[in-house]
């Protein structure tokens, strides 16, 4: 699920950058797919390195290799080096503007796992990290960012991440209180649904702005409407005190991303 949620904003941006009447650049979609697998993996490795002592105390994460003592920190550094080297090979296939833009995201990838120690808004930092592809996809196709399109798309992605990762965080809130880490789930508590509704509305408005600024057509706005309905159902039926329901709602967000990509492609055609 995490790899899809990292990849889909890239596909949106690549799709929006396609010329009217044309399909998205399949070479770029493939390159970004490989990059998403590698960078999601690298992010998980970095996260597990930072959190190995915390993970031992949480039932859901205690079996992770570092937390369980199956591999050493040195071995994880070697593995991370391999992941980042392969990701760099993918990045070097892009234009110079995109190489610099892509490299700029590494600081977010490295520091995100620390955020839950210092702020109740680590989900916001995750959103800034996970949706970098909304900027990078366009620049990879066009050679630079069209900010009137890319920035609202990026904001929409960040709002989306705040929705799905707050839902995800409700799975671990009891353990998080015990071990002393923070999340939006602990910040919002019983007001979670109101906050999620606000983030969803901001996402939909940002998507409309992005679409208008690149002359999108009816199928695109139909997809945005379908996303609104999906998010409304997700939030209305969410039970924040049932981890299995939180996981189900979190995982269903892949559908949100695929709906928007489909709307972009049909809108272009």
Residue 94's contacts (CB-CB under 8 Å, 6 or more residues apart) are 31, 102, 136, 139, 140
Note whether 32 and 133 are within 8 A (CB).
yes
Q: What's residue 184's pLDDT?
A: 96
Q: What tokens were used for 77?
A: 């550094």
Per the structure, the complete domain to which residue 24 belongs is given by 1-268
Domain count of the fold of the chain:
1
Q: ∠ at Cα 94 (46, 18), nearest 5°?
A: 110
Note whether 196 and 167 are within 8 A (CB).
yes
Q: How many CB atoms lie within 10 A of CB 62?
A: 11
The Cα 21–Cα 164 span in angstroms is 32
Note whether 131 and 165 are within 8 A (CB).
no
Domain of 181, CATH number, reads 1.10.357.140
Q: What's residue 53's pLDDT?
A: 80
pLDDT profile of the chain (269 residues), mean per 10: 94 96 96 95 89 77 85 92 95 96 91 90 95 97 96 98 96 86 94 97 98 96 98 96 95 96 97
The Cα 250–Cα 5 span in angstroms is 10
User: Which residue in 170, 166, 185 sits closest to 60, CA to CA?
Assistant: 170
User: Which residue in 77, 231, 91 sits closest to 167, CA to CA?
Assistant: 231
The reply to whether the predicted model has a pTM over 0.85 is: yes
Looking at the chain, how many residues does it have? 269
């Amino acid at each position: 699920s995490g790899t899809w949620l990292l990849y889909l904003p890239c596909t949106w941006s690549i799709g929006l950058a396609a010329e009217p009447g044309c399909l998205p650049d399949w070479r770029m979609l493939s390159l970004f797919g490989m990059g998403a697998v590698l960078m999601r993996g690298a992010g998980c490795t970095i996260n597990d390195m930072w959190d190995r002592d915390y993970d031992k105390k949480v039932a859901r994460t205690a079996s992770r290799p570092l937390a369980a003592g199956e591999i050493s920190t040195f071995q994880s550094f070697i593995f991370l080096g391999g992941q980042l080297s392969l990701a760099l090979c993918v990045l070097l296939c892009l234009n110079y503007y995109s190489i610099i833009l892509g490299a700029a995201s590494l600081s977010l990838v490295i520091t995100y796992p620390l955020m839950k120690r210092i702020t109740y808004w680590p989900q916001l930092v995750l959103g800034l990290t996970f949706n970098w592809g909304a900027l990078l996809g366009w620049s990879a196709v066009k050679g630079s960012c069209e900010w009137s399109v890319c920035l609202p798309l990026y904001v929409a992605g960040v709002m989306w991440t705040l929705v799905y990762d707050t839902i995800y965080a409700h799975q671990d809130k009891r353990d998080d209180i015990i071990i002393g880490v923070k999340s939006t789930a602990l910040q919002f508590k019983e007001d979670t649904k109101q906050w999620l509704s606000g983030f969803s509305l901001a996402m939909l408005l940002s998507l409309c702005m992005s679409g208008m600024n690149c002359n999108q057509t009816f199928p695109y706005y139909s997809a945005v409407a379908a996303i609104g309905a999906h998010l409304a159902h997700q939030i209305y039926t969410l039970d924040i005190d049932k981890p299995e329901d939180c996981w189900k709602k979190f995982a269903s967000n892949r559908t949100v991303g695929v709906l928007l990509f489909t709307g972009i492609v049909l809108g272009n055609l």
